[in-house]
Structures are given as C-alpha cells and as structure tokens.
Amino acid sequence: QVQLVESGGGLVQPGGSLRLSCAASGTIFSIYTMAWYRRAPGNERVLVAAITSGGSTNYADSVKGRFTISRDNGKNTVYLQMNSLKVEDTAVYYCNTDPIDMRLWGKGTLVTVSS
C-alpha cells in the first residue's frame, strides 16, 4: 500500500525559511510526477509546485522565485525548500502525485508564518 508522509513544518517568522520533506513508500516512486499542495485556512487545497520524473518543475505564481521543489529518487523523497516566507504562506502542506491520486492524501504538515 502506497503511503506519503510529510514532515518539516513549523512556526517561522516572515522572511524565514523551512524545508519540507515527503517520504513515499510502497511504490515505484521515480516514475511519478510529484507535487506539493497547500490548504490555507478557509481556502481550498491548491497546487504549489510539481516535479516530473525527469526533474522538470513548475510553480504557482505566488511562490515563484521563493520556493524550490526537488526530489531524491534513491530515497523516495520529494522536498520543498521555502524561502522568504510570507504570512500568506501559512497553510497545511501536502504532497501527492500530479495529477492527484485521492488515495494518497496524508495528514500534511502545518506551516505557520507569523511574527
């Protein structure tokens, strides 16, 4: 059974940085396009960044230039490096495939940006 486990969230001040990790088990991880999504309070879950099996990336306009998605296929892990964090980046962050596989939603990891 495939599982995705997110980690690395926390409380950070505006302008700070965090690195999120998503560990996958039970799947041939390397063939999938992986993505990070987030759900801010009162909003729907939206795509933040995605990375193909070949390493091509795309980002939501709101995070371009600040966030970097990467993957380590040997470790079955996808990362999200978040720099210059803003209050509006506060959300629960999830990883999943792109397109989404509804069976893979995990608990997510909470990122709170506040002074």
| Per-residue pLDDT tens digits for 55-106 | 999 999 999 999 999 999 999 999 999 999 999 999 999 999 999 999 999 9
Three-class secondary structure of residue 5 per DSSP: strand
pLDDT at 69: 98
Q: Could you give the C-alpha distances from 84 to 16, 33, 107, in angstroms and in order?
A: 5, 26, 25
Would you place residue 2 in the very low, low, confident or very high pLDDT band (cuts 50, 70, 90)?
confident
Q: Buried b / exposed e across 94-112, counting CB within 10 Å, b at 16+?
A: bbbbbeeeeebebebbebe
Q: Within 13 Å and on the Cβ side, how many CA atoms surround 114?
A: 7
Q: What is the DSSP track for 82-111? A: E-S--GGG-EEEEEEESS--GGG----EEE
